[in-house]
A and B are shown apart, each in its own frame.
Chain A
Amino acid sequence: DGGITQSPKYLFRKEGQNVTLSCEQNLNHDAMYWYRQDPGQGLRLIYYSQIVNDFQKGDIAEGYSVSREKKESFPLTVTSAQKNPTAFYLCASSYAGGITGELFFGEGSRLTVL
C-alpha cells in the first residue's frame, strides 16, 4: 500500500537531547513537509522540500533541522534549542509542483519532553 510512514509514533525525550523523527513515503511525491500541531493552534509549517537536496524554512523553523538526501525520506531533528518541543508532529507529501495540490499526511509522531 502506498503511503507515508512516520516513526516512532510516541517518543519521550529528556531536556537537552536532540531527537530525530522519521518520515518515509512511497508515493513517488517530489514535495515533502513537516507540520507541528498543538491544541487550538492548527497546523504550523516547520520545513518543506520540493526536490532532493533542497528545503526551505516554514513559519516555525527555529530549533529544528531537516535533510532531504533521498526522494523518499525527509527526517526532522528536534534540537535542544527548541524551547517547547512537546507536540504532535505531522509529515506530509504531495506531487511535484504540488504546492497547491493535495497533501497526504502520515499518522504523526507525538513527542513529549520530560
Chain B
Amino acid sequence: QQQVKQSPQSLIVQKGGIPIINCAYENTAFDYFPWYQQFPGKGPALLIAIRPDVSEKKEGRFTISFNKSAKQFSLHIMDSQPGDSATYFCAASNQAGTALIFGKGTTLSVSS
C-alpha cells in the first residue's frame, strides 16, 4: 500500500520528443505527488508537484497529469532537450504519514 510504482526504468528519445513517465500508487490517503530530477553525482531537486484536487499542472515544458480514479500520475516533457537527460523520480506522501515515498526512478536520455 505504501509503494509508488514507476515506469519505464529507462527511456531514450530524440531532441524535441515528448517523453512520458508514469507512476501508480495504492494508498488513497496520499495527497501530494511531486517529481524530482537528479543529475549524476548530485542530489535530487524538486521539478514540479501536484495535489489531487487538480488533474493537470504545467510549469514551463513540464506537465503533470493526474488521474485520481485510476490512482496514476505522469510526467510529460515537451520539446525535450539534451539538458533534460537525468533521472526522474515520482513520489507521494500524506498528511499523517512519514516522509516522501519514492518510485524507483526513470533514467532519461535525450539524444541530439
Tell yes or no: B54 within 8 A of A by CB.
no
Contact (A45, B98) CB under 8 Å given A40-B104, A107-B41, A108-B41: yes
Q: Mark A75-102, 1 if CB is under 8 A from B, else 0.
A: 0000000000000001010000001111
Q: Are A33 and B43 in contact (CB under 8 A)?
A: no
Q: Are A99 and B102 in contact (CB under 8 A)?
A: no
Closest 8 CB pairs of A and B: A105-B43, A42-B104, A100-B32, A43-B102, A42-B102, A48-B99, A102-B46, A100-B93
Q: Are A42 and B105 in contact (CB under 8 A)?
A: yes
Contact (A33, B99) CB under 8 Å given A100-B32, A100-B94, A102-B34: yes
**CA of A4 to CA of B98, assembled, Å:** 21
Tell yes or no: B42 within 8 A of A by CB.
yes
Tell yes or no: A52 within 8 A of B by CB.
no
Summed over the interface, the residue pairs from A and B with CB atoms below 8 Å come to a total of 61
- Minimal beta-carbon separation of B2 from chain A (angstroms): 8
Hey, which bits of chain A sit against chain B, CB under 8 A?
4, 31, 33, 35, 40-45, 48, 56, 58, 90, 92, 99-103, 105-108
- Minimal beta-carbon separation of B40 from chain A (angstroms): 10
Number of interface residues of B (CB under 8 A): 26
- Minimal beta-carbon separation of B30 from chain A (angstroms): 9
Q: Are B31 and A107 in contact (CB under 8 A)?
A: no
Q: Are B89 and A43 in contact (CB under 8 A)?
A: yes
**CA of A44 to CA of B2, assembled, Å:** 12
Contact (A45, B42) CB under 8 Å given A40-B9, A99-B93: no
The residues in B between 71 and 112 inclusive whose CB is less than 8 angstroms from any CB of A are: 89, 93-95, 97-105
**CA of A105 to CA of B100, assembled, Å:** 12
Q: Are A108 and B102 in contact (CB under 8 A)?
A: no
Q: Are B102 and A105 in contact (CB under 8 A)?
A: no
Q: Are B43 and A90 in contact (CB under 8 A)?
A: yes
Q: Are B98 and A107 in contact (CB under 8 A)?
A: no
Q: Are B43 and A106 in contact (CB under 8 A)?
A: yes
Q: Are A107 and B102 in contact (CB under 8 A)?
A: no
